[in-house]
């Protein structure tokens, strides 16, 4: 299957700083990628759809100014958590669809804001 790589796997940052998470499709091109968030023992919640060369589409309730998404190439999307606070601590995971529409997920990034 297709490979999606996410970096970093985990990050600890101080409150008020920004953190960038990268999501790469390694062996295919992805015009669309998706970002999810997962709290402990809960399901994955869709945050936004990242479109190559255009603005991301955010789900209701997700602050676009806090969660900046950039999809500058067909193989890279980035999520920047700006001015992070402890309530932003969570597991963030990205996904992209392969050629046959099957979705593949990155390893996820565990963010802890202290």
Partner 1 sequence: GIQVEQSPPDLILQEGANSTLRCNFSDSVNNLQWFHQNPWGQLINLFYIPSGTKQNGRLSATTVATERYSLLYISSSQTTDSGVYFCAPGQAGTALIFGKGTTLSVSS
Site for partner 1 in 57-86 (CB under 8 A): none
CB of 93 to partner 1, least distance (A): 7
# binding residues, partner 1 (CB under 8 A): 23
Contacts of 42 (CB under 8 A, 6+ apart): none
Q: DSSP letters along 5-30, please?
A: EEE-SEEEE-TT--EEEEEEESSS--
Site for partner 1 in 26-55 (CB under 8 A): 32, 34, 36, 38, 42-46, 49
Q: Closer to partner 1 by CB, 46 or 72: give it.
A: 46
């Amino acid at each position: 299957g297709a490979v999606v790589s996410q970096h970093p796997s985990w990050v600890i940052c101080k409150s008020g700083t920004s953190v960038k998470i990268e999501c790469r499709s390694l062996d295919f091109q992805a015009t669309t990628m998706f970002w999810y968030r997962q709290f402990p023992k809960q399901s994955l919640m869709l945050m936004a759809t990242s479109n190559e060369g255009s603005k991301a589409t955010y789900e209701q309730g997700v602050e676009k100014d806090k969660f900046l998404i950039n999809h500058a190439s067909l193989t890279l999307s980035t999520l920047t958590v700006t001015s992070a606070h402890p309530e932003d601590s969570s597991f963030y995971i990205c996904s992209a669809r392969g050629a046959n529409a099957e979705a593949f997920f990155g390893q996820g990034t565990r963010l802890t804001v202290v």
